[in-house]
Amino acid sequence: MNFEYDYCVYIGRFQPFHLGHLETVQVALETAKTVIIILGSHQVAPNIKNPWSAAVREQTILSCIEPDHRERVQFVRVRDRLYSDNLWLTDVQQKVIGIAEEDSRIAIIGYRKDSSSYYLDLFPQWTYIPTDNFKGINSTDIRNSYFSQSSESEFLSLLPAGTEQFLQGFREQPLYQRLTEEYQFIQSYKNAWEQAPYPPTFVTTDAVVVQSGHVLVVRRKAKPGKGLIALPGGFLQQDETILDGMLRELREETGLKVPRPVLQGSIVGEHVFDNPGRSLRGRTITHAYFIQLKAGKLPPVKGSDDADKAWWMSLSDLYGHEDTFFEDHFQIVQHFVSRI
């Protein structure tokens, strides 16, 4: 069979993989010898926007594809780089080039859903194959029905059999229960602000305290992200500066007893992290400070307030725990510790 392209790249989160996605994969399989599916948002801690790991998504997608075509589909996993499209693009480019031979004819397929589809324009080196919206199906609506435990029939007809089967089985797993609770929490949180004249923008602070190859982290005591690893930090109070808020949260959550002048004198960087999608509670902008303490014995810390545990995590350990970090906190740490 003659194909117009050697490879067709299809980028998505597929949370979950629905009939619109399957239709696109089928078009890609008719156009190219090999379809490269990029599983985005890899290594994100499960939440109601990204509930399933790349491994689970890969298995589900494969189960939806005709067995004869499966060997023409390859998967790659790509992490989000919320604060650098260039780093994200480097990863996507490298992974595709790692599969495609030199001088391959490469296309990229996808539907321009809304402004979040801007990434489809970032690959001028590949031919863009536009697709239509398939029956108005939308993963967010499917997840909302699924995690709000509303009637199953609302979304089952929008799914390939493989996804339907997977979602039925997943209901038995403890993570499903946890995510339904998280869904309720986020809904109530948003409802509480519904009467405000404008959608709220929250301001938070975070501290990245590093000493002798260790970073100070906490475990979240409450929803959202209960049990996940986070930076000490929290919402700014009405009567404090951002610096004061950061120092207060740091003390409250970790019990760090280093005197204020030492902490303040050890600030070697600060940065605002403002990706509009960084928090599922709503628009939240965080001001993070990088505090580099002098080498020596790690000061004692103890979780309290919103943290049920505080500890010094070695930087090597950090990289092994990427998928258990809350929101973009892993990327915030990375921003500071990888600066040259």
User: Judged by CB, which is closer to ligand NAD: 25, or 228?
Assistant: 25
Minimum distance of ligand NAD from residue 21's CB (angstroms):
5
Minimum distance of ligand NAD from residue 147's CB (angstroms):
16
Residue nearest to ligand NAD (CB): 40
Site residues (CB under 6 A) for ligand NAD? 11-14, 20-21, 24, 40-41, 80-82, 85, 88, 110-111, 113, 117, 119, 131, 133-134, 137, 139
- Picking from 128, 139, 9, 11, the residue whose alpha carbon sits closest to that of residue 78 is 11
Minimum distance of ligand NAD from residue 253's CB (angstroms):
28
User: Judged by CB, which is closer to ligand NAD: 110, or 234?
Assistant: 110
User: Judged by CB, which is closer to ligand NAD: 99, or 242?
Assistant: 99
User: Judged by CB, which is closer to ligand NAD: 96, or 247?
Assistant: 96
Minimum distance of ligand NAD from residue 162's CB (angstroms):
16
Minimum distance of ligand NAD from residue 85's CB (angstroms):
4
- For the CA atoms of 146, 148, 150, 156, the dihedral, rounded to the nearest 10 degrees, stands at -10
User: Judged by CB, which is closer to ligand NAD: 88, or 311?
Assistant: 88
User: Judged by CB, which is closer to ligand NAD: 107, or 263?
Assistant: 107
Minimum distance of ligand NAD from residue 216's CB (angstroms):
26
